[in-house]
Amino acid sequence: ETVVNRIAAGEVIQRPANAVKEMIENCLDAGSTCITVSLKSGGLKLLQISDNGHGIRKEDMEIVCERFTTSKLKEFDDLKSIATFGFRGEALASISHVAHLTITTRTKDSKCAYKASYLDSEFIHRVYCKLKGAVRPTAGNIGTQITVEDLFYNVPTRRKAFKSASEEHQKIADVMTRYALHNSGKSFTLRKMDQDVSAGVSVRTQLGSTHVTNIGTLFGSNVGKEVIQVDHFDPQLHLKVGSCQSTTYASFVTFTINGYVTNANCSIKRFLFLLFINNRLVECTVLKKALDSLYQTYLPKGGHPFVYLSLEMPANNLDVNVHPTKHEVHFLHEGTVVESVEKQVEAALLSCDS
Ligand code: ADP
Ligand code: MG
C-alpha cells in the first residue's frame, strides 16, 4: 500500500515547483499576507514555506496530511468548483509520502505554536515515540511553517531524474513570480539558502504593492513602464448555448477580465503569458495562440508580448484537464470566450496612442 501511495503521490507532486504551487495556494486560502519560501538545492534538499495566515488548530493537526481530508469543503458553495480544480485534500498527504514533512503552526487563539512531523500521512511520533505525543508545543508566530526535506528520498529513480538544482530553483521562482503578481498587495519572498544554485533568481514583493510596481519589479522596469490595463469592458458575456427545435436558448455568463498587457511599443525577449482563472494559475493553449497571433499585427517583427490576465467566471463554464500538475483549461464555449478576451486585449492596445 505504501508503494501505491508513493506512486500516486509522485503523480501529484512531480517536482518541487508543484509542491510550492500547492502550498502557496494553501497559504492564500488561509488568508496570509506574507509568504516566504526558502530553498536549498532548488527545493530538493529543503523547501520551507512560512505564512502569517490563520494557522491550523491543534486538534486538526492529526488529519491535515490524510488523503482527501480538507478543511475547505464548507467554503465552496458550488460543489462544481471542487471538481473543477480537482485533487482537493491531496497536496500535503502526497508530500508526506515522498518527503520528510514537518508542520509548525499557531492560531490566534493559541498561547503557543505546535509542531508535528509526518511520514506517509501519519505522525512520525505515533510510530517511533508513542509516549512523547505527536504534537509538541513550541515557540512560533501566528501562521504556518511547512518544511519539506529530501523530496523523493524514497523514490530514487525520480530523484535521479533531476539534473539541475538551478532548473528546479528557476521553476519555483517562475511559479512564485506569477502568484506574487496576481496577489499584488501581499508580500512574497523567495530565499536561496545554499550555494548549490549559482545565480538563484530571487523574488521579492512588498506589502501594499500595486500590480504595476510589481510588474516592474518582477518582469523588468521597461515592461512596468509600458503596460496598459485591460478592464472588464464587457462583463456580461452573451453565450448562445444551443437550440432545441425552434427555440434558441441564450444564457448570460458573468465573465470578467482584468489584467495588464504590454502595448505595441514594448516587446520582450519571449512571450510571457500569465493566466489566472478564478484565482488559480492555469494554462490555456488556445487562448495563448490567439493572443500571440493578435499581437503579430501590433508588434514589430519578431517582438513578443507580456500578457497577464485574470478571468472570473462560473466554474461550470470551465473544463480543467483533471491532472494535478498540468492545469490546462478549456472553456465550455471556447470560441466565444477566446474571441471576447481577444477583443478586450485589442481594445486596450488601441486605447493607448503608440
Ligand atoms: P486542501 O488545500 O485541498 O484542503 P491540502 O492537502 O493542500 O488540501 O491541505 C490540507 C489541509 O491542511 C487544508 O485543508 C488546511 O486545513 C490545512 N493547511 C494546509 N496548509 C495550510 C496553511 N498554510 N495554513 C493553514 N492551514 C493549512
Ligand atoms: Mg491545498
How high is the ipTM of this complex? Answer: 0.99
pLDDT at 214 over 80: yes
Gap from CA of 130 to ligand 1 centroid (Å) = 25
Q: Does 163 reside within a domain?
A: yes
Owner of C-alpha cell 500571440: 292
Report the distance separating Cα 297 and Cα 303, nearest Å: 11
The answer to whether residue 23 sits within a structural domain is: yes
Confidence check: pLDDT of 130 > 70: no
Q: Which ligand is nearest to the CA of 28?
A: 1
Segment 319-327 shows an average pLDDT of: 66
| Structural domain count of the chain | 2
Grid-cell match 514589430, residue found: 300
Ligand 2 centroid–CA 26 distance in Å is 5
Q: Which ligand is nearest to the CA of 88?
A: 1
**Same structural domain, 205 and 262:** no
**252 and 346 share a domain?**
yes
For 28-48, the pLDDT digits (tens) are 989 999 999 999 999 999 999
Grid cell at residue 309:
490576465
Top-confidence residue, 234 or 99: 99
Higher-confidence position of 144 and 135: 144
Q: Which of 209, 232, 260 is the last residue of a domain?
A: 209
The residue with cell 506589502 is 207
Residue 139 lies in a domain: yes
Give the chain's mean pLDDT. 84
Q: In which domain, by residue range, is 110 found?
A: 2-209
**Residues 44, 159: Cα–Cα separation, whole Å:** 8
Same domain, 166 and 203: yes
Of the residues 18, 21, 26, which should be mutated to test ligand 1's pocket, given the most ligand atoms within 8 Å of the CB? 26
Same domain, 182 and 311: no
Please tell me the distance between residue 192's alpha carbon and the centre of ligand 1 in angstroms.
25
* CATH number where 69 lies: 3.30.565.10
Candidate of 20, 33, 64, 279 to mutate for ligand 1, largest count of ligand atoms within 8 Å of Cβ: 64
- Is 216 part of a structural domain of the chain? no
Give 345's pLDDT tier (boundaries 50, 70, 90).
very high
